[in-house]
């Protein structure tokens, strides 16, 4: 076997974590979190959120983004952050879970960073059985928790979102703001 072939086999055998990992960093209150850049489509300033009747508590509502209806997820509760009203300065990170595209309501999108393998600690090394977290990045100014979007929504929440979206005009986006968009069978 040639040296080039051997080097190619050795590189292929190295774990994926050996390469730098691009991550999107965002904040909730004063804590920073991150998502794998490969899961993120874009980050936008918050826009009007239409309530979604019968959606699970984690869903704030839906947005219409270029004709696509996307559920808006309030991740503050998942990270033991106090619930608060939506601010005009908030951001929506449009990202993909294993099953759907979601908009994650965050305080601010900080940007993209490249993380070296030396600064990454898997979740199991931090705290065994930690939920929703893939790992952490150790930086000079503190830790950044890496969020695992595969575990964002439970099966029950996924099913409830599917049902709620199906019930709203066949899943079509609705315009909020008038009495015409209130469901006829809604409780007062």
Query: Tell me, what CATH number does 40's domain have?
Result: 2.40.50.180
Residue 154 gets which letter from DSSP?
-
Rounded Cα–Cα distance for residues 46 and 7 (Å): 48
Residue 29 belongs to some domain of the structure: no
Domains: count for the chain: 1
Tens digits of per-residue pLDDT, 29-38? 989 999 999 9
Domain assignment present for residue 26? The answer is no
Q: In 3D, which of 153, 137, 154, 156 has the Cα closest to residue 145? A: 137
Model pLDDT, residue 175? 37
Residue 27 lies in a domain: no
Tokens 């699970």, residue located: 56
Asked, for residue 172, whether it belongs to a domain, the answer is no
SS3 132: coil
Instruction: Report if residue 185 sits inside a domain.
Output: no
Is residue 177 assigned to a domain?
Answer: no
For residue 184, being part of any structural domain is answered with no
Q: Which domain holds residue 161?
A: 35-167
Please check the confidence at residue 168 and state whether its pLDDT lies above 50: yes
> pLDDT tens, 112-149?
999 888 888 776 666 666 667 788 888 888 888 888 88
pLDDT for the residue numbered 177: 35
Does the residue 87 lie in any domain?
Answer: yes
Integer-rounded Cα radius of gyration of the chain: 20
34-64, pLDDT tens digit by residue? 999 999 999 999 999 999 998 999 999 999 9
Strands lying side by side in the sheet with 68-74:
40-45, 91-96, 101-106, 68-74, 59-65
Whether residue 144 contacts residue 25, with contact meaning beta carbons closer than 8 Å, is answered with: yes
* Residue for token pair 């930690």: 130
| Predicted structure pTM score | 0.75
């Amino acid at each position: 076997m040639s040296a080039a072939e051997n080097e190619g086999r050795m590189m292929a055998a190295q774990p994926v974590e050996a390469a730098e990992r691009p991550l999107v960093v965002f904040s909730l209150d004063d804590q920073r979190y991150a998502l794998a850049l490969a899961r993120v489509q874009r980050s936008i300033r918050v826009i009007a959120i239409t309530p979604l009747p019968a959606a699970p508590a984690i869903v704030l509502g839906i947005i219409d983004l270029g004709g696509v209806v996307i559920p808006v997820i309030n991740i503050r509760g998942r990270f033991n952050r106090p619930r608060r009203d939506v601010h005009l300065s908030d951001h929506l990170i449009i990202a993909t879970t294993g099953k759907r595209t979601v908009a994650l309501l965050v305080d601010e999108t900080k940007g993209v960073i490249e993380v070296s393998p030396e600064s990454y600690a898997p979740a199991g090394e931090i705290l065994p059985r930690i939920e929703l977290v893939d790992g952490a990045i150790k930086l000079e100014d503190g830790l950044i928790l890496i969020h695992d979007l595969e575990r964002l929504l439970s099966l029950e929440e996924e099913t409830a979102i599917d049902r709620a979206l199906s019930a709203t005009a066949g899943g079509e986006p609705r315009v909020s703001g008038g009495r015409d968009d209130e469901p006829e069978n809604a409780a007062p």
